[in-house]
Amino acid sequence: MAGAPVPTIFCIETMITLRGAHRRAMRVLTLAALAAIAGCAPVGPNFKPPDPPQAERYTESALPAQTASADAAGGPSQRYAPGTEIPADWWELFRSEALGRLVRMAIADSPTLDAARAALVQAQETLNAQYSVLYPSVDASAGARRQRTTGASFGLPSAQPNLFTLYNASVNVSYAIDVAGGARRELESLLSQIDYQRLQLEAAYLSLTGNVVTAAVQEASLRAQIRATREVARSQEQTLSVVEKQFDLGAVSRAEVLAQRTQLAQTLATLPPLEKALAQTRNALAALVGHFPAEAGLPESELAQMQLPQELPLSLPSALARQRPDIRAAEALLHRASAEIGVAEAAKYPQLTLSAAYGSAATRSASLFGSQSMIWNLGASLLAPIFHAGKLEAQKRAAIAAYDQALAQYRQTVLAAFRNVADVLEALEGDARALKAQAEAEASARASLELARAQFELGAASYLVLLNAERQAHQARIGLVQAQAARFADTAALYQALGGGWWGRTENIEKGSVQR
């Protein structure tokens, strides 16, 4: 269409037949390439990691030096140790052989980690493939072609047709010089993707170990609740036997016997849901460690076999962003978005490509490598964008918007991380107070039940007093077990929220070298 603007292509291709001219041309092209590479820095912004958060503490109010203590299992006071290093194998602090074995099984066989490792290898190999843009590409070609030409191809309509076979073999070299640094920015983007996948692997490792510990604590809690419920049911059976004897003697009414039977039946009715939850928790653990439920062979976790860590590490708020894999992964995505701005900017600059070919062409195979059949060429092409209807500027603006989006997502990740730590710290303090209150309630309910039972047997207390005491004792016992489990679970959550100490690990999880 007349008047329509089109991209302009400046192309220089020289066919040289003299050896001296060949050497001079090659020297000129080589010097031009080296000058272009040495004199041009990549366009676009150079990435600078965001500044660390300036928060002075995690919670709105200052934390106490230590939590409350309770006179019960899992009730020791826990002290905060700001700035203390977090051990990479933090779950070993619970001193549970079953728990440690579960975590080791998960690390060794989890498909989640295998998938994260494969994603990391893919990112690494993608970068290895892209490195080729920094070097010339060399290709060899050979072929034979039977063809027929006429004089019309050369402006000679009356010439006789010519039929012949053409043999050729050549080596072709092409080198796209990264004048504006677009290729280097692409490599920077791929390097950031590798960082992201590596941190995703660390996040998967942290999530897996944390989930295993939490599931193991849940399993132990359910076992303890089932055991407590069965003990309460046995006690209620003994009471029922006493009530039935008193009924035979005419000391109590049949309504009181029926009430005790109802109390026992209600207690036994709570066992199936607990047993179902225990079985489902075991199935979840089997999936976490990468085994089928029927063949898992998992060790059984017990609260009584776990010790509560009494010293809790507490990272400085300014250090949290360097410890949390999710924050570091968000930073890697931000780095990649920054590099993509440079890629979009480089597309607006000219592109220089050098090319060369050396080979042979002949109409007979016996003459293919003869001195008279040698052919070669040197060339350089420069492609400069002139008009693309705003496409290149729009691509750059889109890349800048993508960077702004990644920055906002990074900030949101940091906020979520700080909230996570604050929630866990508040939970730890609340758990300690709740366990103390629950331990006191359980001791009081147990003593009240013993007194009511003794008075009932002597006829000094009504059956309703005994019935109420049994109900309160059962509820207090279950509440105590749940409060104990909450302290263990939230202690594990703190280690997870602070990053899990992955930076101090000696095993290479990228290769799955962790052993059981």
Our count of domains for the chain comes to 1
**Tens digits of per-residue pLDDT, 125-156?**
999 999 998 899 999 999 998 888 887 766 77
367 secondary structure, DSSP code? G
- For residue 176, is it within any domain? yes
pTM of this structure:
0.84
- For residue 66, is it within any domain? no
- For residue 225, is it within any domain? yes
Q: What is the per-residue pLDDT for 363?
A: 82
Q: List per-residue pLDDT tens for the chain, 516 residues long.
A: 333 333 333 333 333 333 444 445 444 444 444 444 444 688 989 999 999 888 888 998 888 888 888 888 888 899 999 988 999 999 999 999 999 999 999 999 999 999 999 999 999 999 999 999 889 999 999 999 888 888 776 677 766 778 888 888 899 999 999 889 999 999 999 999 999 999 999 999 999 999 999 999 999 999 999 999 999 899 889 888 888 888 888 877 888 889 889 989 999 999 999 999 999 999 999 999 999 998 878 999 999 999 999 999 999 999 999 999 999 999 999 999 999 999 999 999 999 999 999 989 888 877 788 878 888 899 999 999 999 999 999 999 999 999 999 999 999 999 999 999 999 999 999 999 999 999 999 999 999 989 988 887 777 777 788 888 888 999 999 999 999 999 999 999 999 999 999 988 877 888 764 444
> Whole-angstrom Cα distance, residue 380 to residue 352?
7
- For residue 364, is it within any domain? no
Closest of 374, 372, 312 to residue 498, by C-alpha: 312
Closest of 504, 318, 498 to residue 423, by C-alpha: 498
Single-letter amino acid, residue 509: I
> Whole-angstrom Cα distance, residue 389 to residue 396?
14
513 φ/ψ sector (left φ>0, alpha ψ -120 to 50, else beta): alpha
> Whole-angstrom Cα distance, residue 298 to residue 303?
16
3 state DSSP class of 359 = strand
- In 3-state terms the chain splits into helix, strand, coil percentages (rounded to 5) of 60, 15, 25
Q: What is the per-residue pLDDT for 138?
A: 93
- For residue 371, is it within any domain? no
Q: Is the dihedral of CA 483, 485, 489, 494 positive or negative?
A: positive
- For residue 14, is it within any domain? no
> Whole-angstrom Cα distance, residue 478 to residue 464?
22
Pairing of strands 137-149, 162-177: antiparallel
> Whole-angstrom Cα distance, residue 385 to residue 394?
14
Which residues are within 8 A (CB) of 173 and not within 5 positions of it... i.e. 6 or more apart?
136, 137, 138, 355, 356, 357
**Cα 36 to chain center, whole Å?**
41
Torsion of CA 337, 208, 291, 300, to 10 degrees: 180
Closest of 256, 261, 212 to residue 465, by C-alpha: 256
- For residue 358, is it within any domain? no
> Whole-angstrom Cα distance, residue 400 to residue 419?
29
Q: What is the per-residue pLDDT for 483?
A: 94
Closest of 27, 57, 11 to residue 418, by C-alpha: 57
Closest of 267, 299, 119 to residue 196, by C-alpha: 119
* Alpha helical stretches, state H, 56-181: 97-109, 111-130
Range of the domain at 311: 40-54+72-349+385-511
Buried b (16+ CB within 10 A) or exposed e, 8-45: eeeeeeeeeeeeeebeebeeebeeebeeeeeebebbbe
- For residue 376, is it within any domain? no
**Would you mind telling me the total number of residues written for the chain in this entry?**
516
Q: What is the per-residue pLDDT for 3?
A: 39
CB under 8 A, 24+ apart: contacts of 222-227: 222/274, 222/277, 222/278, 222/281, 223/278, 223/300, 223/301, 223/302, 223/303, 224/302, 224/303, 224/304, 224/481, 224/484, 224/485, 225/274, 225/478, 225/481, 225/482, 226/271, 226/274, 226/275, 226/278
Which residues are within 8 A (CB) of 508 and not within 5 positions of it... i.e. 6 or more apart?
none
Closest of 58, 201, 56, 92 to residue 497, by C-alpha: 58
Other CB atoms within 10 Å distance of the CB of residue 119: 17
Q: What is the per-residue pLDDT for 20?
A: 44
Q: What CATH number is associated with residue 255?
A: 1.20.1600.10
Q: What is the per-residue pLDDT for 11?
A: 32
Buried b (16+ CB within 10 A) or exposed e, 62-96: ebeebbbebebbbbbebebeeeeebebbbbebbeb
**Cα 386 to chain center, whole Å?**
44
Closest of 438, 471, 437, 467 to residue 452, by C-alpha: 467
